[in-house]
Amino acid sequence: MSEFENTDKTGDSQSELIEDGCNKLVVKCKYCGSKILDKKLGKFIMQEKELPLMQQDTRKEGEIQNEKVDQFYHVENMFTFENIGFTHTVDCYKYLSCADCDAGPVGYYDMNTKHSYVALSRIEHA
């Protein structure tokens, strides 16, 4: 079984989402439906990264909860995005959020490489 035949956390088959190593469908915010990335502009990669949870447990005041994410769309130029916001810098990274509803982080921007990474588990495809 190839890496593209696996299913992601939303139950979609990778073969339905990935074509020629890139996103086959438009990438949208899973909360407001705003377009984040057009078709075939993000290269699918597997790499492990810890990202803060999109919804933090408010009972754990002052503590940031994280999760490991391992499937991303790699975007070399930040001007490729349709609607994306960038946070302030945290340890050489900026987190990405939906520019319309501020949901996030949907991924991260690496200050060293100047490349962005959108987590497949945190977006929708349309």
Q: What is the pLDDT of residues 86-116, one digit of tens each?
A: 998 999 999 999 999 999 999 999 999 999 9
Give the pLDDT confidence score for residue 15 in this predicted structure.
73
CATH code of the domain in which 82 resides: 2.170.150.10
pLDDT over 70 at 120, yes or no: yes
The answer to whether residue 22 is domain-embedded is: yes
- Mode of pairing for the β-strands spanning 22-23 and 123-125: unpaired
H-only helix segments in 28-103: none
Q: Alpha carbon of 26 to those of 62, 88, 94, 100, 123: distances in Å?
A: 36, 27, 23, 16, 10
The answer to whether residue 103 is domain-embedded is: yes
Copy the structure tokens of residue 102: 């501020």
pLDDT digits (tens, 9 = 90+) for 29-87: 999 999 999 999 999 999 999 999 998 877 877 788 899 999 999 999 999 999 999 99
Which one-letter DSSP state was computed for residue 100? Answer: T
* Residue 98 lies in domain: 16-54+68-125
Q: Are the beta carbons of 81 and 16 closer than 8 angstroms?
A: no
Per-residue confidence at 12, pLDDT binned at 50, 70, 90?
low
Asked whether the bond before 52 is cis by omega within 30 degrees of 0, the reply is no
The answer to whether residue 8 is domain-embedded is: no
Distance (Å, whole) CA 62 – CA 68 = 20
Q: Are the beta carbons of 94 and 26 closer than 8 angstroms?
A: no
Query: In 3-state terms, what secondary structure has residue 92?
Result: coil
- Spatial neighbors of 63 by CB under 8 A, at least 6 apart, are none
The answer to whether residue 9 is domain-embedded is: no
The answer to whether residue 77 is domain-embedded is: yes
Distance (Å, whole) CA 5 – CA 16 = 9
Q: Per the structure, how many domains does the chain have?
A: 1
pLDDT digits (tens, 9 = 90+) for 20-31: 999 999 999 999
